[in-house]
Chain A
Amino acid sequence: MVSGLINENPIVYEKKERRVRAESSNTDELSAEPIDQLEIFDILFLLSLLYIGSFVSPEHFTHHIRDIKDPEHPYSLEELKVVTEDSVEVDDDKSYVRVTFTPTVEHCSMATIIGLCVRVKLLRSLPARYKIDIRVAPGTHATEDAVNKQLNDKERVAAALENPNLVEMVDECLLPSFE
């Protein structure tokens, strides 16, 4: 087993000051508020404790579940700049969202898992009418096309999410952080 970390010292960025949302003058709770970029980012911000750079690869995750529970890098996606507010494109009228994420290293074998977590989080949070595209930022991953293709093949995502080990891992990644 490979014992070293893929990315031993990830650069940790400061969290961006939260933009304060304008209070809505509309007090009717049933009225539909459009979903905006910040809201999607806030949803993804809850994605935390992704153990970026651990030696877990998607192919071998089943053997390493125990290792994941001993986090090496308990930073959120925001602190690692894997996802930033600017990497979220959203068009509420067209019910469309695109998230472009940046793996911490070019060969990060966790890219598929991170992308899957992002997709699952959005599937669980957004209205069903939403179309979701998840992409690796261009030029940031060695097997960018392969990762993008797999993350956007809903049949493969559906099959992956019937794997109890993988679901357990995704759920763990989606646990709220304790800050």
Chain B
Amino acid sequence: MKTLRQRNIRDYFMVGLLYVSAIAVLTPLLIIIGYVIVNGISTISIDFFTQELGSPARAMQGRPTGLVHSILGTLVVDSLALIIAAPLGLGAGVMLSEYPDHKLNPTLRVLNDTLNGMPAILKGLLAFALVVKPMGTFSGLAGGVALAFVMIPIIARSTESALMTIPWSIREAGLAIGLPRWRVVLSTVMPAARTGLVTGFLIAFARAAGEAAPLMFTSFGNNYLPNHWSGMIFGPVDTLPQRLYSLAISPYKEWHAMGWAAGVVLLVFVLGLFIAGRILTRQKYQA
């Protein structure tokens, strides 16, 4: 049997060890983020937001280049993805939460979680086979579909938990005044849960906005802004994460610098959405 003294020493030792490991784990991660921000901001200029990339020669000759086409492309492709994913995710979430006795629910829940855990690159392969092959060309639409596959399970999950936070008494109140079930869901439950629903959209959007892997062979990439807006949907289009990858593995110094700038823009965009989502949830649950 150990003495109390030995046990206390062990206790202090473990406290110290936990403090040290917490610091040791968090420091490198914060250093990475800090490094990207500091390095990226120093390479950002106004051209970055107004010019298109063009050929490597353009950067090497010092002519103005930027990534306006990637920024616009990201917005277009991600919005397409959200338009496709929102109804599917909402529907599945409503099914899981409002019809808890439905026979398909256990299967749906397991498959949804499994889809959520599937590597994003497989969702890109699926979109390639389903959209790019029949269309015969890489396109923003294919990228949108690939990202929708990323968003759907997240939205379904967050919709389910947002609707679950609404007490059953609200549904019963609606049914008691004679509303049919669908009106109860659409007019009382979903409005009451709207903060949670929006948060789910924001988080899903943020997750998808950072994904490069599924876009590599769906929206493919493009050094130029399409001549017409429809080129953003039906032609190959650039997105920030995929462009960041291409810039980083390119052999040009000027493009590396632009890669850092793309990194900080992407980081701020994704973390901004994410923080907005977290703040919304907090207001909801602390008020």
The yes or no verdict on A and B being binding partners is no
What residues make up the interface of B, taking CB atoms closer than 8 Å to A? none
What residues make up the interface of A, taking CB atoms closer than 8 Å to B? none
